[in-house]
Amino acid sequence: KQLKTADELYLATDADREGEAISWHILQVLKPKKSIPVKRLRLGQITKSALEKAIAEPEELDTLLVEAQEARRLVDRLYGFPVSSLLWRKIAQGLSAGRVQTVAIRLLVDREKERLVFISAVFWDLDAVFRTGAGDTFETKLLDIGGKAIAQSKDFGDNGKLKKESADRKILTSDEAHSLRDRFSSSSFKVSSLEEKPYTRKPPVPFITSGLQQEASNRLGYSPSRTMRAANALFQKGFITYVRTDNYVLAAEALQAIEDLISSRFGASEHAPRNFGTLSEKAGGEHEPIRPADFVDPQDVAGKVGDDEGRLYELIWKRTVATQMKPATGRTVIVEVEEEHDDGARYQARGTVIDDPGFLRVDPAGTKETILPPVA
């Protein structure tokens, strides 16, 4: 009814293939008069500024995107539907297969086959914590005793026995490990070797959907479904951009907002511009990466959302800001600590000594490397 008296028709479904197809189908149902202009609005975030910009710069419906969605739907029907029905008949009701699921299941099956033939091995190793003259501590692993290398997990094959190239390594028993522990607790040690190489770690890329799910699992312990529930809630409340994307390109206004934030919090010298092309180069008008909509401070957001949403927002905020900061630099270090004993043991630590944190200033947990204190 409202369309009959409207001056224009705006279609504001999702800015991807599925959204384009939905807009096209809405148009087929509404059948507006030719005198009513039809405009396509593409929103990557639900904020006042994004809506105003979309209305000021409307686009046309993209029939190529509509056809792309149609092609994807046909592929699902040609391959996904028949295989799913076969699974129902041969295995169990309710199972499904498709372009993505089938490949993922293959990976799981291959890993399960490896697990079934794997034979476990029993061995012991020893870790030790040493303290530097400055009072910092670092963890090490036992390498050898009296020149005899100690077997580690990587030395065993799937048959539970030492690999051919590791056959001369010593397998520690429980009694030996406990006896050595008692001996080492009263032994004297010294740094016998120190190797250093320059280290540079670039900032991470912005979050796409799969990247967010992986990082939320690693850092927060969230399942993919838990992550997406929290992300959708943040999107609907206007705190982050659209949550389904495989595009790494940040919009110009986002880059400017990040630069301003870095300059005010960490100093202009910490800003290092970095992007992955321009949005216009991406086929299909895909969404931006998942990022804060207005870069509200995580502490301010935490009081307005649930715990899951607050922690996920902080993860997104830190990642997005980190992408535009300097690399972390320092030294990759291999340090060996030797027991002062006739049949002395040798421990080793591998890690990184950070001289300039760079992007780690905003996200100290944003590296998987073992961080070591200065040893020498």
Radius of gyration, alpha carbons of the chain = 28
The two counts, helices (H) then strands (E), for the chain are 11, 8
Average pLDDT over residues 77-91: 86
Pure H helices in 266-325: 298-302, 307-322
Asked whether residue 52 falls in the same domain as residue 107, the answer is no
Asked whether residue 239 falls in the same domain as residue 314, the answer is yes
- Note the residue count of the chain: 376
In Å, what is the CA distance from 38 to each residue of 9, 50, 53? Answer: 5, 19, 17
Which pLDDT score is estimated for 122? 93
Per-residue pLDDT at 182 exceeds 50:
yes
- Residue 254 domain flag: yes
Which pLDDT score is estimated for 280? 47
Last residue of a domain, one of 296, 322, 348: 322
pLDDT bin (cut points 50, 70, 90) of residue 113 is very high
Asked whether residue 83 falls in the same domain as residue 182, the answer is no
Asked whether residue 308 falls in the same domain as residue 229, the answer is yes
Return the C-alpha torsion angle 141, 143, 144, 149, nearest 10.
130
Q: How far apart are CA 197 and CA 332, in angstroms?
A: 5
In the three-class reduction of DSSP (H, G, I as helix; E, B as strand; rest coil), residue 192 is classed as strand
Per-residue pLDDT at 1 exceeds 80:
no
Nearest to 336 by CA among 189, 135, 126, 162: 189
Asked whether residue 94 falls in the same domain as residue 50, the answer is no
More reliable by pLDDT, 43 or 222 = 222
Per-residue pLDDT at 227 exceeds 90:
yes
- Residue 255 domain flag: yes
Asked whether residue 190 falls in the same domain as residue 338, the answer is yes
- Residue 356 domain flag: yes
Nearest to 295 by CA among 41, 52, 49: 49
Asked whether residue 176 falls in the same domain as residue 254, the answer is no
Cβ burial of 348 (10 Å; 0-12, 13-18, 19+) is middle
What are the DSSP calls for 207-275, one per residue? B-HHHHHHHHHHHH---HHHHHHHHHHHHHTTSB--S-----PPPHHHHHHHHHHHHHHT-GGGB----
- Residue 122 domain flag: no
The 10s digit of each residue's pLDDT in 18-73 is: 889 999 999 999 988 888 899 999 887 777 888 888 899 899 999 999 999 999 88
pTM of the predicted model as reported, rounded to 2 decimal places: 0.77
Asked whether residue 217 falls in the same domain as residue 309, the answer is yes
Average pLDDT over residues 276-296: 72
- Residue 219 domain flag: yes
Average pLDDT, rounded, for the chain: 91
CATH assignment of the domain containing 14: 3.40.50.140
Strand partners, 190: 338
Average pLDDT over residues 231-241: 95
In Å, what is the CA distance from 227 to each residue of 100, 216, 238, 286, 373? Answer: 19, 7, 17, 21, 34
Per-residue pLDDT at 284 exceeds 50:
no
- Residue 366 domain flag: no
The 10s digit of each residue's pLDDT in 185-214 is: 999 999 999 999 999 999 999 999 999 999
Asked whether residue 217 falls in the same domain as residue 317, the answer is yes
Average pLDDT over residues 107-130: 94
Asked whether residue 273 falls in the same domain as residue 288, the answer is yes
The 10s digit of each residue's pLDDT in 312-359 is: 999 999 999 999 999 999 999 999 999 998 889 999 999 999 999 999
- Name the percent of the chain lying above pLDDT 70: 97
**Total domain count for the chain?**
4
- How many other CB atoms are found less than 10 A from the CB of residue 256? 11
| Residues with a known catalytic role | 242
Q: How far apart are CA 111 and CA 297, in angstroms?
A: 42
Which pLDDT score is estimated for 376? 67
Which pLDDT score is estimated for 281? 43
With vertex at residue 18, the alpha carbon angle to CA 316 and CA 93, rounded to the nearest 5 degrees, is 95
In the three-class reduction of DSSP (H, G, I as helix; E, B as strand; rest coil), residue 108 is classed as helix
Whether the CB-CB separation of 24 and 53 falls below 8 Å is answered with: no
Which pLDDT score is estimated for 66? 94
Per-residue pLDDT at 282 exceeds 80:
no
Which pLDDT score is estimated for 277? 67
More reliable by pLDDT, 227 or 35 = 227
pLDDT bin (cut points 50, 70, 90) of residue 283 is very low
Q: How far is CA 322 from the centre of its chain?
A: 13
Q: What's the distance, Cα to Cα, between the start and end of the chain in Å?
A: 79
Q: How far apart are CA 242 and CA 42, in angstroms?
A: 11
CATH assignment of the domain containing 315: 1.10.290.10
pLDDT bin (cut points 50, 70, 90) of residue 104 is confident
Asked whether residue 251 falls in the same domain as residue 228, the answer is yes
Among the listed ranges 89-103, 240-254, 298-312, which one has the minimum average pLDDT value? 89-103
Among the listed ranges 92-101, 172-181, 363-372, which one has the minimum average pLDDT value? 92-101
Which pLDDT score is estimated for 2? 82
Largest CA-CA distance found in the chain, in angstroms, rounded:
96
Which two structure tokens, joined as six digits, stand for 144?
């050898």
Q: SS3 breakdown of the chain: % helix, strand, coil, rounded to 5?
A: 40, 20, 40
Last residue of a domain, one of 21, 37, 61: 61
Q: How far apart are CA 178 and CA 175, in angstroms?
A: 5
Average pLDDT over residues 166-181: 95
- Residue 372 domain flag: no
Domain that holds residue 23: 2-61
Among the listed ranges 19-23, 246-250, 272-276, 279-283, which one has the minimum average pLDDT value? 279-283
Asked whether residue 97 falls in the same domain as residue 233, the answer is no
- Residue 277 domain flag: yes
Last residue of a domain, one of 37, 61, 85: 61
